[in-house]
Structure 1
Amino acid sequence: MIEHQASKMIIVTSSDVTAEALTSAQGKRLWLVNGGELVHMIEEGRSLMQKPVIEAHPQLSPNLCPNCHFELVVRIAKKGQNTEQSFYGCTAFPKCRYTCDC
């Protein structure tokens, strides 16, 4: 740990940590993670990733998509009847297909 200038060491196990290991780790820069804690950490991380991102003040910015509240950016049409014309497109494309004229 010192050799690699680490601030702490984390030891993870899929089962339990022994009482002896817990005693040995006390007062040291050592974090022991047992299987139950590991499962909890993974589930907590998954639930955070599934929460939708909510804009704090979507009404303050005129460049937000009215459908999903992601930012609108100016794009140039590459094909179709409006080729080479600019328009606002949602940055959540292709999930959100909102567009409007500039």
Structure 2
Amino acid sequence: MVSAGRFTDEALRFAEGRNIRLQTGQALHDMLRTSAVPAPLVSAHPPAHSSNPPAAPACPKCAKPMVLRTAKRGEQIGRSFWGCTGFPNCRGTQAAD
């Protein structure tokens, strides 16, 4: 848990004996400033196949580009579909194959 200020005595007592680490914002800043930035991971063996995402289609209602979304409710919950970037003004959708 990070705080921009100080922790109350009650918060310090609550954290004791628990898997909670309290840090002030300044302590976190100092920790990040002094840590080394790891080198990016580079694979010696590129993947055998490319998993390029499908190209975004144009909205059938307004022709704006679409974005891949996941249904959060209804019969199609959990399934991917293309939704218009003009949402909520445009509610164009298209099935993601």
Per the shorter chain, which TM-score range? 0.3 to 0.5
Higher helix share: 1
Compare CA radii of gyration and give the structure with the larger one: 1
TM-score normalized with structure 2 length:
0.40
